Chain A
Amino acid sequence: MKKKILFVTAFMTLFCVAKAQDALDTNAAPGFYHWNLGLSLGGDYNVHSANMVYMNNMSYTGMLGVSFGLHTQYNFMPWLGVRAEVLFLMKDYGMINHVIINNEDAGMLHTGTINGYIDVPVMAVFSYGNRFKVHAGVGGYMGYWLVSSRYGTSFPFSGDVIEFDEDVKFNSTRDNRFDGGLAVSAGVTLALGKAQAWSLGLEGSCLYGLTDIQKKYMRNLSPRYNTTYSVQLSLSHSF
């Protein structure tokens, strides 16, 4: 898999650079700036993919979170740029355990896991338009799993269902805190003012994890991945 990732990444990079160089003689459009710096704020929905094999009563569910970030973009030309972002986002997920005892429904137990990540997506951004632009980006991201906590209901051996709420300590044998994968985005921006130096944006993006959140610590490991969809509002300044 690593070879495949390296090959595709190298191919994409070479292709984009070649195309960019080829078009460098294009005349800059009015309001064209090379650099752009901005802030973004929004919400996300994380989907936790895990194959529960025969554990039919248990399932993972997606959960909403918040995200905010600081981004910068270098535009080679009006239609092509490279953007990097430092993004704090929550990759939360839930787990439901539908308890069935002797073929009788005994109710639901649930756990909500709150995970804070810092991710750095780097994307080639393709734009179309002038004052009002439509853009799409594709690239990859790397990141780090910062914190984790969980809450929910379960039952101890000594009694009835109780609630819990606890910080989760990372386990160095189990937890893969490195985060990486694909990043894609699409959105619109509206340049403001005569100079078009400020712009407002609305963007949807997807971070598709390619790294298992667990290390390979056992033979029969069932991998678990995050896919995070986010919608963000941004304010950017170009110069």
Chain B
Amino acid sequence: MKTRKYIINTMAIAAMSTLMMVSCRKEAPVLHNPNHLNCKSYTEQFQTIWEGVDQSYVFWERDTVNWDTRYDRCLPLFQAFDARGTANPVTLDEYKAAWENVLKGLVDHHFAAILWEPNRKTAIAVSPGHKAPYETDIAQEISILKRMPGISDLTENTVSGSKAPQSWSCLLPGKESGEKIAYFRFSGFAFDESSQSQAELAPLYAFFDPDTAGNVGDRALINRDDVKGIIIDVRGNRGGNFGNIAMYIASLLQKKLHIGYTRVKEGVGRLDYSAWLPTILTPPKRPIKQEKNIVLLVDANSVSCSEITAVLIKCIPNGKVVGERTFGGTGPLWPNTNLHDIFYNGCFGDTNLFNFYTNEGRTYSNPDYAYYVYTSTFEFVDLNYESFEGKGVIPDIVVPYNAQELKAGTDKQLERALEYLRNGN
């Protein structure tokens, strides 16, 4: 009887203690989807974007910014803005400086926060990434190209409404008499057969002669027997649609090529990541007839898809990258914020504000402190898991940009590319 009493007493105490301990788990913080919020003040706008970047930014494992400290340091700036009221309104310079303080040092070189200031009915953009040391003078480089001895079959595109051509193809002399080098240049990866006219796509068609499935045609410059080398020029190319790489640049491959990996942030924590997934390019069913040496020309304004193309060219044995270190914005992204809620990372906010800011002639109005954050959806690394974000891709053959020589009519980077293709070194 005594034993039974002991058992019952002891077990009752143990059960009570256990129940007490069960409540020791911590509660989750209250968090909101940064994609769907209306902000009524400078402070709310700051807190929303801070929290959105906290959860939707893909580079936290690589970034050196202490984001928590940044919150503590910057919150008082925006609280002070709200406290000033209408008598002493915040100037756009102050507003921009405050946001530069918030975002300074983030490694994502696609990153831009577009911020709507409802009191002044205007938007500003803040990009924390470094700036390229020069603007690529595409017009001058094309002018030099056109004066090259022996140039033939030059085709320029004529995009309606555009101030200048955006892509070019031609043939340049090879090493021996009768041999040719095919040249193709485009200022952005924005080819779209469904919406662009044949005239707009003329250089692309001359170079690749693709059918609707992306197969290389017989009339393509790159398929000519007398063409012994290929130059693809992405200097000043700010990137665009990766589908262009998959469809056109992959036409230069004979077999599947694994060029690197991507991952997304997948979950509430800053360091919750998906697996690294391989980035594999597949040649079309009817690719280029024979392998040829390929040179990719790059400079400090080659961004995003241009840089991924540089990684691709480095992966193929007959490829060389020539020019200057690229910009360092290699994280692919989906600008449409409808896609934010697949993995809950990447661009978030009001896409209309983005369209307003990036397209002339559009109008926008919002009584709230609206925002749009443009940031990489994916992190890209090469086969050695090396990231180029904020660093850029270093060419195999480095030829520095020289503004004076260019102005005087000499394009040293193009000349070095031709020299490599003609002499093999």
Asked whether A152 and B275 contact (CB < 8 A) given A79-B3, A220-B51, A225-B25, the answer is yes
Q: Is the CB of A124 within 8 A of B10?
A: yes
Q: Are A222 and B275 also in contact (CB < 8 A) when A80-B10, A158-B242, A182-B21 are?
A: no
Q: A19-B10, A23-B3 are in contact. Are A138 and B15 (CB under 8 A)?
A: yes
Is B188 an interface residue, CB under 8 A from the partner?
no
Bound CA span A54–B13, Å: 39
**Is A145's CB within 8 Å of the partner chain B?**
no
Please measure, in the bound complex, the distance between the C-alpha atom of A214 and the C-alpha atom of B25, giving whole angstroms.
13
Give the chain A neighbours of B68 by CB distance below 8 A: 218-219
| Residue numbers in B under 8 Å from A54 (CB-CB) | 31-33, 344
Residue-wise interface mask of B (271-291) relative to A, using a CB-CB cutoff of 8 A (1 in contact, 0 not): 100111111110000000000
Cβ contact of A26, chosen from B3, B24, B33, B55, cutoff 8 A = B3
Is B17 touching A11 in the complex (CB atoms < 8 A)? yes
Shortest CB distance B23–A (Å): 8
Known: A23-B3, A210-B21, A220-B54. A156 touches B269 (CB 8 A): no
Number of interface residues of A (CB under 8 A): 65
Task: Report Cα–Cα, A80/B13, bound state, in Å.
Answer: 14
- A1-33 residues at the B interface, CB under 8 angstroms: 1, 4-5, 8, 11-12, 15-16, 19, 22-23, 26
By a CB distance below 8 angstroms, the chain A residues around B55 are 220
A22 to B3, CA, bound (A): 11
Q: Which residues of B contact A5 (CB under 8 A)?
A: 21, 24
A53 to chain B: closest residue by CB: B31
B381 CB to closest chain A CB (Å) equals 12
Contact check, B277 vs A156: say whether CB atoms are below 8 A apart.
yes
Residues of chain B contacted by A77 (CB below 8 angstroms):
3
Q: How far is the CA of A23 from the CA of B278 in the complex (A)?
A: 66
Give CA–CA (A116, B18) in the complex, Å. Answer: 25
Binds A, one of B80-88, B171-179, B334-342: B334-342
Asked whether B18 lies within 8 Å of A221 as measured between CB atoms, the reply is: no
Q: Smallest CB–CB gap between A72 and chain B, Å?
A: 20
Judge whether B90 is part of the interface by a CB distance below 8 angstroms. Answer: no
* A156/B279 in contact, CB under 8 A: yes
Main secondary structure of the interface of B (DSSP, over half): mixed
Q: Nearest CB to that of B16 among chain A residues?
A: A8
Report which of B13, B29, B269, B344 forms a contact with A174, defined as CB distance below 8 A: B269
Stretch from B260-268, B292-300, B394-402 that touches the partner:
B260-268
- Taking a contact as CB atoms closer than 8 A, the residue among B29, B51, B269 that contacts A214 in the complex is B269
B332 CB–A CB distance under 8 Å = yes
Judge if B119 is at the interface, Cβ distance under 8 Å: no
Q: Mark A44-69, 1 if CB is under 8 A from B, else 0.
A: 00000111111101100000000000
Q: Is B134 an interface residue (CB 8 A)?
A: no
Contact of A218 among B11, B54, B261 (CB under 8 A): B54
Contact of B378 among A80, A124, A157 (CB under 8 A): A157
For residue B9, CB closer than 8 A to chain A, the reply is yes
Give Cα A102 to B338, complex, Å: 6
How far, in Å, is A140 (CB) from chain B's closest CB? 8
B270 adjacent to chain A (CB < 8 Å): yes
CB-CB under 8 A for A1 and B24, given A8-B17, A80-B10, A171-B61: yes
Whether the Cβ atoms of B13 and A8 lie closer than 8 Å is: no
Task: Given contacts A157-B378, A223-B28, list 7 more A-B pairs with CB under 8 A.
Answer: A19-B9, A23-B3, A53-B28, A58-B344, A138-B14, A171-B61, A174-B271
27 A-B pairs within 8 Å (CB atoms) are namely A8-B21, A15-B10, A19-B9, A23-B3, A23-B6, A49-B25, A53-B30, A54-B344, A55-B33, A58-B266, A58-B267, A58-B344, A79-B6, A95-B266, A95-B267, A101-B339, A111-B274, A111-B275, A150-B275, A157-B279, A158-B281, A164-B276, A182-B22, A208-B22, A217-B269, A220-B54, A223-B27
**Interface of B toward A, CB cutoff 8 Å:** 2-3, 6-7, 9-11, 13-15, 17-18, 20-22, 24-33, 51, 54-55, 61, 67-68, 71, 242, 246, 261-262, 264, 266-271, 274-281, 332, 334, 338-339, 341-344, 377-378
Give me the 8 closest cross-chain CB pairs, A-B, nearest first.
Answer: A51-B28, A156-B277, A54-B33, A174-B271, A222-B268, A53-B31, A138-B14, A164-B275
Interface of A toward B, CB cutoff 8 Å: 1, 4-5, 8, 11-12, 15-16, 19, 22-23, 26, 49-55, 57-58, 77-80, 95, 97, 99-102, 111, 124, 126, 128, 136, 138, 150, 152, 154-159, 162, 164, 166, 171, 173-174, 182, 184, 208, 210, 212, 214, 217-223, 225
